[in-house]
Amino acid sequence: MPSRQEISYFGAGPAPLPTSVVEAGAKAFVNFNDCGLGLGEISHRSPTANKILDDAKANLSALLDIPDNYEILFMQAGGSGGFSAVVQNLVSVWIERRRRRAEADAQAANPGAEKSQIDELVFQRLQKEVEEELKLDYLVTGSWSLKASQEASKLVGSKYVNVALDSRKANGGKFGTIPAEESWSLTPTKKEGGKGSAFVYFCDNETVDGVEFQQFPKSLEAQGQDAEDERLVVADMSSNFISRKVDVSKYAVIFGGAQKNIGVTGITIAIVRKDLLPPQTATPPPALLHRLNIGGLPGPVVFDYATIAKNNSLYNTLPIFNLWIAGQVMADLVAEFSTQKVSGQEAVANNKAQLIYGVLDKYPQVYQVVPDASVRSRMNICFRVNGGDDVKEKEFIAGAEKRLLQGLKGHRSVGGMRASNYNAVPLENVQKLVKYLEDFATGQ
Q: Which of 6, 8, 9, 2 is nearest to 260 (CA)?
A: 9
Give the chain's residues under pLDDT 70. 224-228
Amino acid sitting at position 376: R
Pick the CATH number of 340-442 from 3.40.50.300, 3.40.190.10, 3.90.1150.10, 3.30.365.10: 3.90.1150.10
Given a contact cutoff of 8 angstroms between Cβ atoms, the answer to whether 242 and 254 are in contact is no
pLDDT for 230: 86
Cα–Cα distance for residue pair 440/51, rounded to 1 Å: 50
- Residues 302-361 pLDDT 10s: 999 999 999 999 999 999 999 999 999 999 999 999 999 999 999 999 999 999 999 999
pLDDT for 224: 62
Fold identical between 63-321 and 340-442? no
pLDDT for 191: 87
pLDDT for 227: 64
Cα–Cα distance for residue pair 382/360, rounded to 1 Å: 10
Amino acid sitting at position 138: Y
pLDDT for 6: 94
Pick the CATH number of 63-321 from 3.40.50.360, 3.30.70.890, 2.102.10.10, 3.40.640.10: 3.40.640.10
The verdict on pTM exceeding 0.85 is: yes
pLDDT for 375: 98
Domain locations in the chain as residue ranges = 63-321, 340-442
